[in-house]
Amino acid sequence: MKKFWVVLMIFVAVLSAESIKISDPKPSIETPRKIIFQLSTADEKEAGRVISYINNLQIAYGASLVTFAVVAQADGIVFLTKKTPLKDRIEALIQADVDFLACENTMESKKLTKADMLSGISYAKAGMQEIVERKLAGWIYLTP
């Protein structure tokens, strides 16, 4: 009976691995998957989902085979301020080379300065323009 379960587990593992098709070109160090997310709401659950999606995709592809950018604009800018409730999780992703970009237009309208923001983030003059340009450069655009 023990052999049966071992064989069954191996069969299920092989079947599962084959059910996920990876498109060409396969992700590699030279051609990583490039994924950009947008955060435009102050909903903490939504921002947490983006973080979880990034973590899950890093596991699925391998952290070195996927590159991420997260553009925070409108009400979502709150997650890149020093007062963000997700500070530890965002800082961990920054350390893992995830690029978080704050929309400078939003910062201006909300009277935020770079001193208000987390260290290690990047800036984009216009968040939507950043997304458009990255999409045109081949990035995959995802929203939570």
Residue 15 lies in a domain: no
pLDDT of 144 strictly over 80: no
- Confidence at residue 5, expressed as pLDDT on a 0 to 100 scale: 45
Per-residue pLDDT of 44-83, as tens digits, reads: 999 999 999 999 999 999 999 999 999 999 999 999 999 9
Residue 12 lies in a domain: no
Q: Domain count for the chain, please give it.
A: 1
Residue 5 lies in a domain: no
Residue 8 lies in a domain: no
28: containing domain: 23-142
- Confidence at residue 50, expressed as pLDDT on a 0 to 100 scale: 97
Q: Distance between CA 22 and CA 32 in Å, rounded?
A: 12
- Confidence at residue 22, expressed as pLDDT on a 0 to 100 scale: 79
- Confidence at residue 23, expressed as pLDDT on a 0 to 100 scale: 77
Mean pLDDT of the chain: 88
Residue 14 lies in a domain: no
Per-residue pLDDT of 72-126, as tens digits, reads: 999 999 999 999 999 999 999 999 999 999 999 999 999 999 999 999 999 999 9
The domain that contains 101 carries what CATH number? Answer: 3.40.1260.10
Strands 99-103 and 66-72: parallel
- Confidence at residue 3, expressed as pLDDT on a 0 to 100 scale: 52
By CB atoms closer than 10 A (0-12, 13-18, 19+), residue 98 is buried
- Confidence at residue 138, expressed as pLDDT on a 0 to 100 scale: 95
- Confidence at residue 1, expressed as pLDDT on a 0 to 100 scale: 53
Residue 18 lies in a domain: no
Residue 76 in tokens: 């979502």
Residue 55 lies in a domain: yes
Exposure letters 64-85 (e unless 16+ CB within 10 A, then b): ebbbbbbbbbbebbbbbbeebe
Per-residue pLDDT of 18-33, as tens digits, reads: 456 777 777 877 778 9
pTM for the predicted model, two decimal places: 0.83
